Amino acid sequence: MQTGEIRASIVMPAYNAASDVRRSIGSALAQTEPRCEVLVIDDASNDNTVAVVRQLAEHDGRVRLLRNAVNRGPAASRNRGFAEARGDWIALLDADDEFAPHRIETLISLGERHAADLVADNLLLCPENGIGPVQAMIPAWALPAGGFLSLAVFVAGNIGSRRTPRVSFGFLQPIIRREFLRAHDLRYQESNRFGEDFLLYVACLLNGARWWVTPEAMYRYTVRPGSLTDVQSAADLQRIRSVESALLCNDALLASDPDLASALRRHKAVIDRFYYYRAFVDALRARAASRVLRVLFESPLSLPYIVQESLLRAPKITMKALRGGYRVMPRAMPRSPPGTGGSGVRSGGGGAPAL
C-alpha cells in the first residue's frame, strides 16, 4: 500500500510477547477496514518475539517490524511507531490484547462523522485464564451513549468521589489523527514508565483535541492476575505533579473552566499522596535517614499523606507477605486490571494513582 492509501497505522510495542503477539497481530490484520498497517516495535525482547513477527511479516506485507537495540519502555516504542506511521489514524494495541474485527472501521467512521481528533471505545475486560466474567470496563450508567470527552471530565473520571465511582478513562486506547499529533508536536514522555498515556491525553485535550467516546466495547483487554505492585517511581510521580502544578498556575485556564480547576486540584492531591509515600518508602529502603526526614517534613501534608497511604496499603501488603511475597515481573511492561492503576505501564497493589 502507498502512504495515501493507509487509513490506520496500528502501533504495537512488544516485549517478550512471543506467546501472545501472533493472536494480537491476527486481530489487527482481520479488520473489516483492510487499509491498515501494523507496526510492531520489539523492545529488545529476549524470547522468540522477533521470529514470530518476522514470519507474519513475510506472509503479509502490512506487518512491519521495528527493533530497539536496548529496552526503552513502551512510551519510547510507541513514539517510534508514531514517527514511522503512514496512516491517517494511529491506533494503539498492546501485544497481548485484541481488536474486534470491526473496531478500526467503526472508530474511523465515528471520527469522520463527528470531526474528532481522538476516538475511543469501551474496553472489554477478558481474564487471561478464561475464568471469570468478560465485562465492559466502564459501566453503562457512566457511559450510556456516545459523546465528547472534555479535559475536566477526563481528569475527574480518573479520580472518582464518594458520590461517583471512579471511571478509568486513562485506560482507554483511542485512535488519534496522525495529523493532529504532527501539528501539535505531541508524543509520549519517554522518561515515564507510568502514567504516560494520561499525560499524552491531557496534552491532546489541552491542545484542543475533540475526543469522541462510544460505549461499544471493541478492544479486548487481557486481565492478568498477580501483576507487579508499585511499578510507579517517585520520579514518574514527580513529573506528573510538575505537569499538574503548571496547569494549576495557569490562572486563565482555571478561570475559564472551574470544573477543570476542581478536578485538577483533586487529582493532584491523589498524586501527591502517592508521591510522598513512594519517596518515603524508597528512602527507607535505601536507609537514607536524611532523605526520610526530608520527605516526612517536605510539606505540611507529606506526613499525613504517608500515614494515610500506609494504612490503606497495610492489608494488601500483609496478604502478600503471608502468600510468600511479591511476584517478580519484568519492569518494562507490567500490567494489571484497569481501575487499579495508571495506564500504559499499569500498576496494582494497595491503591494506585488515579490515572
Please report whether residue 22 resides in a domain: yes
Q: Phi/psi of residue 341, each to 5°?
A: -170, -160
123 or 314: which leads in pLDDT = 123
User: How far from chain centre, in Å, is Cα 166?
Assistant: 16
CATH of residue 87: 3.90.550.10
pTM, rounded to two decimals: 0.86
pLDDT score for 228: 36
152 or 343: which leads in pLDDT = 152
pLDDT band at residue 20 using 50, 70 and 90 as cut-offs = very high
pLDDT greater than 70 at residue 345:
no
Query: CA 81 → CA 93, 203, 222, 235, distances in Å?
Result: 11, 19, 22, 25
pLDDT greater than 80 at residue 57:
yes
pLDDT score for 94: 96
Q: Are 351 and 313 in contact (CB under 8 A)?
A: yes
Please report whether residue 18 resides in a domain: yes
Q: Which of 97, 123, 149 is the last residue of a domain?
A: 97
Number of domains in the chain: 2
Domain carrying residue 286: 234-322
Please report whether residue 91 resides in a domain: yes
User: Which strand (E) or helix (H) includes residue 42?
Assistant: strand 36-42
Please report whether residue 180 resides in a domain: no
Q: At what angle do helices 49-59 and 21-29 cross, to 10 degrees?
A: 20
Q: Which of 97, 129, 160 is the last residue of a domain?
A: 97
pLDDT greater than 70 at residue 19:
yes
Mean pLDDT over all residues of the chain?
87
pLDDT greater than 70 at residue 64:
yes
Please report whether residue 78 resides in a domain: yes
Upper half-sphere CA count for residue 79 (Cβ side, 13 Å): 17
Mean pLDDT for the stretch of residues 169-180: 96
Tens digits of residue pLDDT in 223-243 = 876 443 446 789 999 999 999
Tens digits of residue pLDDT in 122-166 = 999 998 877 788 999 999 988 999 999 999 999 998 886 656 667
Question: What's 4's DSSP letter?
Answer: G
Please report whether residue 310 resides in a domain: yes
Q: Which of 53, 74, 97 is the last residue of a domain?
A: 97
pLDDT band at residue 298 using 50, 70 and 90 as cut-offs = very high
Please report whether residue 277 resides in a domain: yes
Question: How many whole angstroms separate alpha carbon 82 and alpha carbon 85?
Answer: 5
Cell numbers 471469570 label which residue? 132
Please report whether residue 332 resides in a domain: no
Question: How many whole angstroms separate alpha carbon 156 and alpha carbon 140?
Answer: 18
3-class secondary structure, 41: strand
CB atoms within 10 A of CB 324: 7
Mean pLDDT for the stretch of residues 56-67: 97
Q: Are 18 and 47 in contact (CB under 8 A)?
A: yes
Rounded percentage of the chain residues whose pLDDT exceeds 70: 84
Tens digits of residue pLDDT in 74-125 = 999 999 999 999 999 999 999 999 999 999 999 999 999 999 999 999 999 9
pLDDT greater than 90 at residue 320:
no
Question: How many whole angstroms separate alpha carbon 286 and alpha carbon 145?
Answer: 50
Mean pLDDT for the stretch of residues 42-66: 97
Query: CA 2 → CA 64, 251, 278, distances in Å?
Result: 14, 46, 48
pLDDT score for 313: 85
Q: Are 162 and 45 in contact (CB under 8 A)?
A: no
pLDDT score for 233: 87
